[in-house]
A and B are shown apart, each in its own frame.
Chain A
Amino acid sequence: AQTVTQSQPEMSVQEAETVTLSCTYDTSESDYYLFWYKQPPSRQMILVIRQEAYKQQNATENRFSVNFQKAAKSFSLKISDSQLGDAAMYFCAYRSATGGGADGLTFGKGTHLIIQP
């Protein structure tokens, strides 16, 4: 079974600064997907960014980028120019690709990101 570990229960950053959230995972599979989801107080789960394991290039979405280290099984999220609206819980998630890409997600416990004005 796969596991996802987020070692930072809470992080705090000043507005406009950069913050990095950590995520490690354990799997014996070679093909999979990794995701970061954001959950604001409204509790809606919002996809931030995705990474296919077969791609060496790190995914980027505007101010959000990842550092994907497949050998180290590490998948960190970098948020540049932090904004007040970035305050939320952030969840790292793993999805196997062996089931035809239609498997469920395995989530980490989450990191609570606080943005200081």
Chain B
Amino acid sequence: DAGVIQSPRHEVTEMGQEVTLRCKPISGHNSLFWYRQTMMRGLELLIYFNNNVPIDDSGMPEDRFSAKMPNASFSTLKIQPSEPRDSAVYFCASSPRYNEQFFGPGTRLTVL
């Protein structure tokens, strides 16, 4: 198994631009999670899906952030418009129910 796949691995963009982060979970996992890691706030849960349905998006910082999971093998996290304070590492993780979460390699986002 290839593990959780995230793209891009690095993204540099300018303030005001739209950013889309992508995630392919491990096949057969029915839960998908988006986390953000910063020096100041550590690792934070943004949103998670069970069976492609968003369950809890209370961690999404602002309306500029949105996430979708159109099918069991793909999810996106979109920031529009992006701001410098959005600079962080964004992780996607997937999990079979009742089990531990497997993390992707992360996307390092830099907003100038």
Most chain B Cβ neighbours within 10 Å, of A43, A47, A91, A102: A102
Inter-chain CA distance A4–B35, complex, in Å, is: 16
B31 in complex: contacting residue of A33, A35, A102, CB < 8 Å: A102
B56: which of A44, A101, A104, A105 is its contact (CB, 8 Å)? A104
- With A91-B43, A110-B42 as contacts: A105 and B101 at CB distance below 8 Å: yes
Complex Cα–Cα for A95 and B100 (A): 9
Kindly state whether residue A100 has any CB partner on chain B within 8 Å: yes
Q: Is A50 an interface residue (CB 8 A)?
A: yes
- Of listed A33, A100, A104, residue having the most chain B CB within 10 A: A104
B33-A104 in contact (CB<8A): yes
Identify the closest chain B residue to A93 (Cβ): B43
Residues from chain A with a CB closer than 8 A to the CB of B30 are 102
Give the distance in Å from the alpha carbon of A22 to the alpha carbon of B42 in the complex.
17
Q: Specify which chain A residues have a CB less than 8 angstroms from the CB of B48 in the assembled complex.
A: 102-104
Mask for B73-112, Cβ within 8 A of A = 1, else 0?
0000000000000000101010101111111011010000
Given A43-B105, A43-B106, A45-B91, does the pair A100, B97 have CB atoms closer than 8 Å? yes
Chain A residues with Cβ below 8 Å from B56 are: 103-104
CA distance A102 to B32 in the complex (A): 9
| A55 CA / B105 CA spacing, docked (Å) | 31
The answer to whether B43 and A101 touch across the interface, beta carbons within 8 angstroms, is no
Q: Is the CB of A105 within 8 A of B31?
A: no
B50 within 8 A of A: yes
Nearest-neighbour CB distance to chain A for B97, whole angstroms, equals 5
Residues of A bordering B, CB below 8 Å: 33, 35, 37, 42-47, 50, 91, 95, 97, 99-110
Pairs across A and B, CB under 8 Å, 7 listed:
A47-B100, A101-B99, A102-B30, A102-B95, A103-B56, A104-B56, A107-B44
- Knowing that A104-B48, A105-B33 touch, tell me 10 more A-B residue pairs with CB under 8 angstroms: A43-B89, A44-B103, A46-B103, A47-B102, A95-B101, A102-B30, A102-B98, A104-B45, A105-B101, A107-B42
